[in-house]
Structures are given as C-alpha cells and as structure tokens.
Structure 1
C-alpha cells in the first residue's frame, strides 16, 4: 500500500509541476498563483498543491530542478554517445538546442522564472561549466583542439546555447536544426587544431 501512495504522490506532484509549467510559460511568473495552477491542473483545491509543496518558492525550485534535470538527461545521452571531444562538443550544442526546440513550454517557464529573479539558489548561481570545460580540455589533450582559454570558450558556448529559448519566443518558426548546425560549425572552427 505504501508503494501505491508513493506512486500516487509522485503522479500528483508531476501533475502540479506540469500545470505550473503551463501557467508560467503562457501567462508569466506573476500570474502563477496556486489558484491558477489548480485550475490549469484540474485540481479540486489549492490544498493539494500545499500538501505537496510548502509554498511557491518550493514549487518553483521543483520546477527549475525538473527542467534542468530534463536538459541534463537529454544532453548527457547525446554527449555520452560521442567518441571524440569534437563530437562531444557538437553533441552538447545540438542537444541543448534540440531540447529547447522540443520542450518549449518548460524552457519558457524556466526563462520566466529566471527573469523574475525566482527559483532559489539554482537560478542564482552561475552555470556549471565543468562539463564543457572537461570536453574542451580533453580535446586539447588529444590534440583535436588548439590551445585556448578553456573557461572563456566554455562560457561562450554556454551563452550561445542559452539564448535559444529567447530566440524561439521571438521567432517560433526558427529552424533549430540549422541554428544548431551553424553553432556547431562556428565552435568547431574556433576550437579545432590546425591541420
């Protein structure tokens, strides 16, 4: 019986998160009240939200964690399948862009949370560039990539892919495949060792 309640609780939390993402993405962070989220999620009462989340801060932190975990899983799978550092860098860029394209509402919600200065410590801290720095250092050590400041390059790559959700809001018909290909070519030329 405990497992059933746990599964039911997880399903309810997911339902609340989905409704929160939809409200924040479509209506903005300020309109994401428990009442509005309950209406969107088809919940009988805002108490169901309060039962699973101590307050809006905890709910928004869960939203941020959920979206960031989704990005990490998607990108990690693509990067893990690549064999060279250059291919891993390309997979990272393509992975972030394709995730943003396929998950527009969660990415829009994440942006709106960030722009509202909400989301707790996960939104306040600078992005972890360790994964990108590792790829770039591996490329330099393998002779695939030229000498450059790894932190500067990692920051530049990260900022280039982070802008995609903003572009999608301004240009919903943006060709994300072409956009990713252009970024891959740009960063491959910027990092590769001279033949």
Structure 2
C-alpha cells in the first residue's frame, strides 16, 4: 500500500530535511573550528544562523544524537563516492585498488568532514558513532574473502588485513588533513600497490 502525502506534508518534510542538513553542516564547522568539547548547541546554532538552540533540540534531542547524524552523513557521502568506483571494477584486485584510490580522493576533497569525524570518534564513548567504521571493516573483510574464493588473493586473515588497511588509510587521511602540500595521488598509488603485493595470490604477477 502506498502512503499518500499532501503537498503541505511533503513541503514540511523537505524543509525539515534541509534544516537537519544545515545543522549537521554547522556542527562540522563548529567541531573543526573549536574542537569537539567546545562545539556546543550554542556554537552550532550561531554557525547555522539560528536565533536559538531550540531549533537544534527540535531535531536532535542531545549532542550525542547530533554527532551520530554527523558520522552517518559523512560515511554516507563517502560510501556514495567510493562505492561507485569500487563496483565499477570487475575483479577483487581491481576493487581493492579502486577502494584505496577513491578513499584518498575523498580525503583530499572533504577535509572538514574528516576532521570532524576524527574528533567525534575520539571523544564519543557510547559506541554508536563508531558503528559505521566497524561496518566498513566488515565490508573490506568480505571483499578479501571474495578475492580468496576467486583465487585472486592469497590465504590470510581477512579481518586482520581489513583492519590493517583501515589504519593505513587513516594515516593518509591524517597527513592530507595536516599537510596541504601532500601528494594524495602518490600516496594512493603507493598504498594500492603495497596492498596489492601483500594480498595477491602467489601465482599472480603484479
């Protein structure tokens, strides 16, 4: 059964979505400028152009809920950009290289989002904000398993390799975020080659 919505209801829905996106963007800005602890509703409201914090509280009951939305939005954006390039590759080795190179591209073009994400993951202790990070590692582990089943990857522990790759990419993200002259393409190529050599089946040639 299809739900029917009036034009007024649809308009309110779009308006609320836009307001939530505005608040999330302001939260990212506040975290980058002030750090996580000082990114209060008051500071976020100021950057969002809101007259009071009440509008934020209407959409997010507390800071933790808002931070979870920031994390979800950053990961969703990354998944859309990186995922499109990964699925375009027709081999596990190609998908691995595409994932690494596309991730580096995302880091280069989304510095504020990455800095905010790092602050949140360091400061939030409830567990929920890091769930997308765990899901990404699980997805990488499954990519490695698929490559092993296809004979493209050697025998290794997929989870350990996924965690290792995730930490290596975190290092690239940190360097790109702190040193403006970092050559992202060079880092992406070298990291992709490193993990290709580390994972490919013995009979494969680079």
TM-score > 0.5, shorter chain as reference: yes
Distance 1:119 1:108, change over 3 A: farther
> How much does 1:172 deviate?
2.2
Contact 1:140 1:146 (8 Å CA) reproduced:
yes
Contact 2:121 2:129 (8 Å CA) reproduced:
no
Contact 1:20 1:37 (8 Å CA) reproduced:
yes
| Structure 2 counterpart of 1:133 | 141
| Structure 1 counterpart of 2:27 | 20
Of residues 53, 56, 63 in structure 1, which corresponds to 2:70?
Answer: 63
| Structure 2 counterpart of 1:185 | 193
Of residues 74, 90, 96 in structure 1, which corresponds to 2:81?
Answer: 74
| Structure 2 counterpart of 1:166 | 174
CA shift digits 1:14-49 (9 cap, x unpaired):
101000001101221112111111111111221111
| Structure 2 counterpart of 1:83 | 90
| Structure 1 counterpart of 2:113 | 106
Contact 2:86 2:99 (8 Å CA) reproduced:
yes
Q: Which moved more, 1:108-117 or 1:160-169?
A: 160-169
> TM-score scaled by structure 2?
0.88
Contact 1:108 1:165 (8 Å CA) reproduced:
no
> TM-score scaled by structure 1?
0.93
Which consecutive unaligned segments of at least 5 residues does structure 1 have? Answer: none
| Structure 1 counterpart of 2:184 | 176
Once the two structures are superposed, the pairs formed by residues 27-66 of structure 1 within 5 Å of their partners are 27-66=34-73
Contact 2:75 2:132 (8 Å CA) reproduced:
no
> How much does 1:130 deviate?
2.3
Of residues 10, 17, 34 in structure 1, which corresponds to 2:17?
Answer: 10
Taking only aligned residues, the RMSD between alpha carbons, in angstroms, comes to 1.7
> How much does 1:170 deviate?
2.7
Distance 1:47 1:66, change over 3 A: same
Which consecutive unaligned segments of at least 5 residues does structure 2 have? Answer: 1-7
